[in-house]
Every structure is written in structure tokens, then in C-alpha cells.
Amino acid sequence: MQSMDLKSLERAERKEAKQEMRYIQKEMKALGNGGIYISTTALVIIIILLIIL
């Protein structure tokens, strides 16, 4: 993707390529953190289950 020559593409193609690159970068940042994401609802359910059991 980075080795592509964006100047040879038409304007719409360049725009699409840039959007795709941004999306890929966001995905890499999300995966690169290595953290575990738990929603608030899931966390509450887990706590309730721990109390009950």
C-alpha cells in the first residue's frame, strides 16, 4: 500500500486509497495496544455472577 504511486491514480481512487490507509492505521492501533476491552454492561454482569456464585 505504501509503495503505491498515488500520483498516477485518479482523484477518486486517491481518496479511496487514503481512506483505506486511515482505516488500516486505526485497526493497527486498536490491535497494537494489547489491552482487553470489556463493555460496562459485561463488567456489571461478571460482577453480579461473581457475587451470586
* pLDDT tens digits, one per residue of 3-46: 667 677 788 888 888 888 888 888 877 766 656 667 888 888 89
Q: Which long-range contacts (CB under 8 A, 24 or more apart) does 30-35 make?
A: none
Q: Is position 1 within any domain?
A: no
- Residue 50, pLDDT > 90, answer yes
Provide the pLDDT for residue 16.
Answer: 86
Q: Is position 10 within any domain?
A: yes
Q: Is position 44 within any domain?
A: yes
pTM score of the predicted model:
0.46
What is the number of structural domains in the chain? Answer: 1
Expressed as residue numbers, the domain containing 41 is: 6-52
Q: Is position 24 within any domain?
A: yes
Confidence bin at 51 (pLDDT 50/70/90) = very high
Q: Is position 25 within any domain?
A: yes
Provide the pLDDT for residue 25.
Answer: 84
